[in-house]
């Protein structure tokens, strides 16, 4: 099986620069949900959880992302989507129609196959815009034609 070629982190996650200094991280892999498994300049392992809009460091030793960040790399959830007819190809991830932080569910009816680069970009911009909204606060989403430039 050929290894998946990952784009440069600075390109893939440029819309997350408000949260993390991308120059301090190396991309190791991308979860089926678009989350970025990385290591920082001190070799500490972390996850940029694009669905929750946060950077989390591994709390246990090891290098296996499925053990360090079990929800982001949960094969049971991904397998359920695949069995439900959503089979991502290279460059795709599972995306959520209604974002989890806005009450969206993990149910397959809320899932679609997203272009990974576009989904990561969209969620970076989305979380930047809602970062100061308190839990339970109201947001209004206005979609403007946003083209991802690679």
Which tens digits make up the pLDDT trace of 94-116? 999 999 988 899 999 999 999 99
| pLDDT for residue 150 | 41
Domain total of the chain? 1
Query: How would residue 146 be classed by pLDDT, with cut points 50, 70 and 90?
Result: low
What number is the average pLDDT over the span 54-66?
Answer: 93
Domain membership flag for residue 125: yes
Domain membership flag for residue 143: no
Which tens digits make up the pLDDT trace of 1-43? 345 566 788 888 999 999 999 999 999 999 999 999 999 999 9
Which residues constitute the domain of residue 25? 9-130
Domain membership flag for residue 39: yes
Q: Within a 10 A sphere around the Cβ of 144, how many other Cβ atoms?
A: 4
């Amino acid at each position: 099986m050929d290894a998946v070629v990952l784009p440069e982190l600075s390109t893939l996650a440029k819309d997350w620069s408000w949260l993390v200094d991308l120059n301090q991280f190396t991309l190791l892999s991308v979860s089926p949900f678009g989350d970025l498994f990385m290591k920082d300049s001190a070799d500490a392992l972390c996850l940029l959880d694009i669905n929750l809009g946060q950077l989390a460091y591994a709390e246990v030793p090891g290098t296996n992302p499925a053990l360090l960040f079990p929800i982001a790399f949960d094969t049971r959830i991904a397998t359920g989507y695949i069995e439900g007819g959503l089979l991502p190809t290279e460059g795709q991830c599972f995306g959520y129609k209604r974002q989890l932080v806005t009450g969206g569910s993990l149910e397959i009816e809320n899932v679609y196959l997203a272009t990974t680069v576009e989904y990561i970009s969209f969620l970076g911009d989305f979380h930047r815009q809602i970062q100061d909204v308190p839990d339970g606060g109201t947001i209004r989403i206005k979609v403007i034609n946003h083209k991802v430039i690679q």
